[in-house]
Structure 1
């Protein structure tokens, strides 16, 4: 019997950012076609059937903060770090964890050859096309130069030709840090082109000063990475970025917020009606400074596996505050900041040992594996590539520890992990929705009791990284099915898709607004004349 649908999802509890109800879903030509209380046998016909068996059915995850195919080889010997995941392996990992759209970063450098943002994007796009992607993908642009002629002529082309409507700016890292006047230059140019500005908010000068003091005292083990970046480092930078953004009335988004200090500053700005958005990530809800002492001893170099920036908070009190931020709207999106550096690799975490002269002085490496060598070396936290993997575990962690534990509602989960990222980055309602005409990107969870809780090991995962920071954590649920544009690409623990399934997405502008328009502008904080 023929059907008007290609595939139907039956017996599910459909959850969107606003509602929860029992619906069947009919899919045609890769799009959501019909939602109905139930389908008749005639409706179903010969369509492929996916039985949710009472499990929650949600829009597929949109992970708007993913690093793939990136090099950050800035150490003395130029070894680390090199992302272990390309678009094939990174998207494979994403889809197995319920994510159906990723937005990755095309990164400009300060080299003269990277002066053109268009050439940077073209080169990065070639990397994606070389391997393909299991799921749909888009790009942000990281801007580390303030070449005014390039900003004026190329930003409009990025928007029109590539649909790139977001840029990321850094307040730390010597190779990427912009001074305040440079931040203002780029923010103003982005504002004129309806490009959302993302901010990595850490005070680079404070970090440099603290790191030098730690080094002078011989405090170089991975744990001291956290001491070089206390929460005040992030809080100061967040406050300063808000002042700069308010000056020119620019919307901004703070990425990977890791502390209550920063979250409180952001919340206060939002309460004043400013268009300030924020993102947090799984590491800040599940790890603390103590995880930088996890392996064998506080001085053990294997703890470098846990280094990311900003680091998680000193203790679980920050986690409670960040969960409150998820609940009350301080955080607009929940992303992974998947930054995959291998541990056992000279272009990964091991660079922090191999590039540290004192650790390698008179070291005999012949016939010794890197992990064995690391057992007797401290390395230097300053030279360890900053970042941890997490694109596959993002949704399951928040589902288990947020939804199942009752800390956030299923609707809030969808809002943070799918709908808001799609709106913020100009993909809604193509993505992040279960509406007629939306792409049929769907994640279906096991019904309650349908999956025996298990402790995670790296062998469960599908990335190209040799560890997970969440090893040993217990999970109560995991995506049972993932559908990308109407095709079942993950089912009952098996990957069914291919790396040529994904398509590049051109995006529109931020759909979440530009702040409260009718507020009287205070000349003490806003330079209204700048854009006149």
Structure 2
């Protein structure tokens, strides 16, 4: 009987703290040993991968992935429908070096979604309907504050499902909570050792900037973006200046501090938002932040990328928060990667097709002005319509694809340029997500006993850089925001629990290889005792 199933040799093995040149032995899906070398008899019967001096890292953990979600909130019931299910989305993840994804079971305000357990069971059925190429877990999005549900079901989510994180919104009419409602859910999360994720944009500011308002005499009070005719995709960014994120991060920090609740700000995209997070961390508060590739590689100018500023094709670039106005914010964000302001680096993969009525085109199909004298259409007729109409940015589903490009973008833009170290790369993309969301050391580590999840890169001196095209990717999306971008490396192998699922440009795994992961409490949550007991800021008596 073979001592090992898989052996990796000649690799620069990277953890969140160290780099070492060693060999790895894998048996039964687990890392068994790290040694200088193996004897020939130890290698007998094992598959041997020669890393050829390239980086060997823990498999990527993408903690912000949207799959199988319906966001059909438009006036005519179209709106967004995620184009990736668990099969296509996880296949794309594997091709990009990611071995674990955490996706979102989404509550709505419909009465049938009042029960969080019902929401999770229904979402789990979607995952099981196709299966996954990689391991996966769930967050829960909560948009209601029903006291009995929070009291009775949050503990069940934690105990039976291993769902140790919930996401709350400060924007979107169908999802945002008032401050009082936010406190209700945060308080329940705190009592059940759940980490609260916050989408921090001030919804009232966005609406005020966007939608025209009428005075009592039925005349418009003030000229907003829509009344000025500024409705094309580019103006999405103007409706969400960085101050929108700045206000919301400040407010959420205050709410969380009041009840001592640990929070994670998702997709922080501005230097202002990052500065607020950094200030809270300096105070000793358990405040964490996530950022994403789009905030380092796109700007407002990308919303003018195509032949006209009003070209609807620019809807492909719309995400929330939008990327920063220019590259000056990006420099500040790079500092945040290195100094620890950002705890994790995720994709916020939120895929919508450009050739489907429930994708980006719903921004035209849902817009009365654009559809006057027209009819809903598909196929070539739909594309012809999009070439003639500018739509309305507030009706365009917010989100871009990125689960496959996440790690290569960070490698190209930060690791190969020396902006971050290999250790920081691993910390941001694997180890910290595992710790933050209760998966460490099963995931996110290269140590005996951990799952044998790896991403092995190409040796840098042997890899020829290339320009990306969408047909190279494996998602079910008909575009990538990073079309034409030059990449300096790409995963050569992706290995899930000792099984090679991606090798030299080809998928080797199969759907169903991935397993559902029950998670525990965050292993990062901590706070300075003085900061958590100051009665001027903390209502500590709530827990007495």
1:137-152, aligned counterparts within 5 Å?
137-152=136-151
User: Aligned-pair distance for 1:521?
Assistant: 2.5
8 Å contact kept, 1:289–1:314 = yes
Alpha carbons of structure 1 residues 284 and 520: separation in structure 2 relative to 1, 3 Å: closer
CA distance in 1, matches of 2:159, 2:72: 32
Equivalence for 2:114: 115
The correspondence for 2:260, drawn from 240, 243, 249, is: 249
Equivalence for 2:504: 492
CA distance in 2, matches of 1:163, 1:448: 39
For residues 463-510 of structure 1, give each alpha carbon's deviation from its aligned partner in whole angstroms, at most 9, with x where no partner exists.
Answer: 000000000000010000000000001000010000110000000000
Equivalence for 2:318: 307
CA distance in 1, matches of 2:526, 2:248: 21
8 Å contact kept, 1:169–1:200 = yes
CA distance in 1, matches of 2:230, 2:492: 45
User: Aligned-pair distance for 1:447?
Assistant: 0.6
8 Å contact kept, 2:257–2:532 = no
CA distance in 2, matches of 1:72, 1:222: 19
Equivalence for 2:280: 269
Matched, 1:227 2:238: yes
Equivalence for 1:505: 517
User: Aligned-pair distance for 1:518?
Assistant: 4.4
CA distance in 2, matches of 1:364, 1:526: 56
Alpha carbons of structure 1 residues 209 and 56: separation in structure 2 relative to 1, 3 Å: same
User: Aligned-pair distance for 1:530?
Assistant: 1.7
For residues 291-334 of structure 1, give each alpha carbon's deviation from its aligned partner in whole angstroms, at most 9, with x where no partner exists.
Answer: 00001111000000000000000001111111100000000000
If the length of structure 2 is used for normalisation, what is the TM-score?
Answer: 0.96
User: Aligned-pair distance for 1:519?
Assistant: 4.3
CA distance in 1, matches of 2:159, 2:359: 36
8 Å contact kept, 2:532–2:538 = no
Alpha carbons of structure 1 residues 110 and 21: separation in structure 2 relative to 1, 3 Å: same
Matched, 1:397 2:409: yes
Q: CA RMSD in A?
A: 1.0
Equivalence for 1:162: 161
User: How many residues align structurally?
Assistant: 531
The correspondence for 1:343, drawn from 332, 354, 373, is: 354
- The unaligned stretches of length 5 or more in structure 2 are 212-223
**Structure 1 outlier segments of 4+, above 6 Å:** 364-367
Equivalence for 2:49: 50
The correspondence for 2:270, drawn from 242, 259, 279, is: 259
User: Aligned-pair distance for 1:365?
Assistant: 6.9
User: Aligned-pair distance for 1:448?
Assistant: 1.4
User: Aligned-pair distance for 1:3?
Assistant: 3.1
CA distance in 2, matches of 1:105, 1:454: 33
CA distance in 2, matches of 1:529, 1:207: 36
Equivalence for 2:215: none
CA distance in 2, matches of 1:302, 1:528: 51
Equivalence for 1:101: 100
Matched, 1:471 2:483: yes
For residues 503-525 of structure 1, give each alpha carbon's deviation from its aligned partner in whole angstroms, at most 9, with x where no partner exists.
Answer: 00000000012211244732221
CA distance in 2, matches of 1:358, 1:466: 26
Equivalence for 1:460: 472
Alpha carbons of structure 1 residues 344 and 60: separation in structure 2 relative to 1, 3 Å: same
CA distance in 1, matches of 2:426, 2:6: 22
CA distance in 1, matches of 2:206, 2:530: 39
User: Aligned-pair distance for 1:364?
Assistant: 6.3
Equivalence for 1:15: 14
CA distance in 2, matches of 1:450, 1:490: 19
User: Aligned-pair distance for 1:376?
Assistant: 1.1
Matched, 1:281 2:301: no
Alpha carbons of structure 1 residues 363 and 519: separation in structure 2 relative to 1, 3 Å: closer
CA distance in 2, matches of 1:500, 1:324: 39
Mean CA deviation greater in 361-370 or 193-202: 361-370
Equivalence for 1:370: 382
User: Aligned-pair distance for 1:34?
Assistant: 0.7
Alpha carbons of structure 1 residues 165 and 239: separation in structure 2 relative to 1, 3 Å: same
CA distance in 1, matches of 2:166, 2:531: 27
- The unaligned stretches of length 5 or more in structure 1 are none
If the length of structure 1 is used for normalisation, what is the TM-score?
Answer: 0.99
User: Aligned-pair distance for 1:449?
Assistant: 2.1
CA distance in 2, matches of 1:520, 1:156: 24
Equivalence for 1:126: 125
CA distance in 2, matches of 1:171, 1:286: 25
The correspondence for 1:516, drawn from 501, 523, 528, is: 528
8 Å contact kept, 2:434–2:440 = yes
The correspondence for 1:320, drawn from 316, 323, 331, is: 331
CA distance in 1, matches of 2:92, 2:65: 12
User: Aligned-pair distance for 1:450?
Assistant: 2.0
Equivalence for 2:30: 31
8 Å contact kept, 1:307–1:386 = yes
SS of equivalent residue, structure 1 residue 215: coil
